[in-house]
Structure 1
């Protein structure tokens, strides 16, 4: 699967000369891939009884996330985590700043950014990819849009299709039995019929209806994978799932005992960043390879 096949709905992560080491690079086998991420809860502002709210967006008689920036409240900030070679830890010293995330091409696209207070500007984490993900209802399930949708009105944005809402879908690699979670996939279900991550990370509704391999892996866009993990529980239990219970560890998923967090109209903004403490192992190229490469983020 080529990079262009699966990334057309997303901005290309902005390149930076600081993402790459200027001295001799270690061999790939010696590198640890890592990235930083944060899950911010996003509530909608579409209750007709609230002053200043937008009208609910109803499609085919069912609620869908708003298309207007004013249809959202400010995100509720979560904790910053580090993923490193399949192990999750708290990213000590990093926090969410309310300084807007901008770039010269796309402008304002997040209401904050991950920073480290004692790092100079050229050593700060670099924005890799972000997604807003909502669980709409039990029929439509997950819908996602690029970056933080509360920063723009989709209807009037310069590319409302590319930056609009799209359902969770998948692309399959039948040779490796891997399902890639995307917005622009050509499959509605995963490839594997049985896997440890089906049920909590991927709801049962996405299990294949016809024949398929018994086992298989899961990969895909990093913020989408993180969002699916976040929806496996409530926001209050996410740190327990990731840190105390270590449910996401060594490229496998261990089931937790908490109830799922897939409640109607719940939304999250997931932002992923390069890890400035791992410059050679946290480049755009390595994170892209993690997303769409032959080694799954979750094995069976």
Structure 2
């Protein structure tokens, strides 16, 4: 039976992830039909060498949300300006449209053969999984590097973001988005935030984040990715600001912003059509026509980024694969903060 919540048939979910991120059994079985890579020695893997690939795996899922007030609520959740907000209760996230799992490799995005999305049920954690088609089970669970939820709410609340998966119980809360609330925190929860941008070592580059770090406007003027990816509300109009030279920062946010150019429930089409290629946004220069209009309910995308360290034909064991630390501590931060992901 196929389930929209899982992204794959439940019969093929026999290899479950353990607390270390690898499968509890089945991880020493055969191969997947994934992207071919050269064989590396154990010493190369332990040293974090033997690869020149800047690569990672990602998936873009779209939430199906019930915006009707739940029991005990008098009205739909809004902010202090009466803009409709994403629900706080996990029960309101009634489903998701799973996307294709993609591989980003040296600026080129393509489907990642042998990988799929798996979530046992809504309200439970989902993961990118490697599928052993011959054995009809999952045999690898790449480690999650970053996961974020982005909602497009309205013209007056164009984009808000939170760390993690907003559909999980107790994962997010609504805070009043004003400067007086910067120190407000709820343990174990991630607040919704406006997009924020910080400058970096390359002049004019805007590094987007979900931490309310920096300012809620782009670093540079005349950014080519406004309004195509980032709404005009985030435009920098300061006369002394440098000319924009690019967008970088949290990969999950940038990928979600691109995903809004896909029609509802088909955010993956943006990447199947390679509208993001070698640091260039090749899609429309205008704002997406699929963003919510006045009076419509918000649209929410969840993006999970995983390291791409599992070697084809090798078990999900660090002895046979590049260490996760090479990706999480070196390669991925380098992509986010030492490269320009979208030029202009």
TM normalised by structure 2 equals 0.69
Offset of residue 44 of structure 1 = 2.2
Q: Give the alignment partner of residue 78 of structure 2, picking from 58, 65, 86.
A: 58
Q: Give the alignment partner of residue 113 of structure 1, picking from 123, 127, 138.
A: 127
Q: Say whether residues 1:290 and 2:290 are aligned partners.
A: no
Q: Which has the higher helix share?
A: 1
2:208 aligned residue = 181
Offset of residue 15 of structure 1 = 8.1
> Residue 115 of structure 1: SS of its match in structure 2?
strand
Offset of residue 297 of structure 1 = 1.1
1:254 aligned residue = 282
Asked if structure 2 preserves the Cα contact closer than 8 Å seen for 1:170 and 1:182, the reply is: yes
Q: Give the alignment partner of residue 24 of structure 1, picking from 44, 63, 75.
A: 44
Q: Say whether residues 1:243 and 2:272 are aligned partners.
A: yes
The CA distance in 1 between the partners of 2:242 and 2:162, in whole Å, is 30
The CA distance in 1 between the partners of 2:289 and 2:310, in whole Å, is 33
Asked if structure 2 preserves the Cα contact closer than 8 Å seen for 1:196 and 1:254, the reply is: no
The CA distance in 1 between the partners of 2:96 and 2:246, in whole Å, is 32
What root-mean-square deviation, in Å, do the aligned CA atoms of Structure 1 and Structure 2 show? 3.5
User: Which residues of structure 2 form unaligned runs of 5+?
Assistant: 1-18, 23-39, 175-184, 312-320
Asked if structure 2 preserves the Cα contact closer than 8 Å seen for 1:41 and 1:75, the reply is: yes
Q: Say whether residues 1:276 and 2:309 are aligned partners.
A: yes
Asked if structure 2 preserves the Cα contact closer than 8 Å seen for 1:169 and 1:188, the reply is: yes
> Residue 70 of structure 1: SS of its match in structure 2?
helix
Give 1:26-41 correspondences, 5 Å limit: 31-41=52-62
Offset of residue 24 of structure 1 = 2.0
Q: Say whether residues 1:265 and 2:298 are aligned partners.
A: yes
2:111 aligned residue = 90
Q: Say whether residues 1:168 and 2:168 are aligned partners.
A: no
Offset of residue 93 of structure 1 = 1.6
User: Which residues of structure 1 form unaligned runs of 5+?
Assistant: 1-13, 101-107
Report which of the two structures shows the higher radius of gyration computed on alpha carbons: 2
The CA distance in 2 between the partners of 1:44 and 1:149, in whole Å, is 11
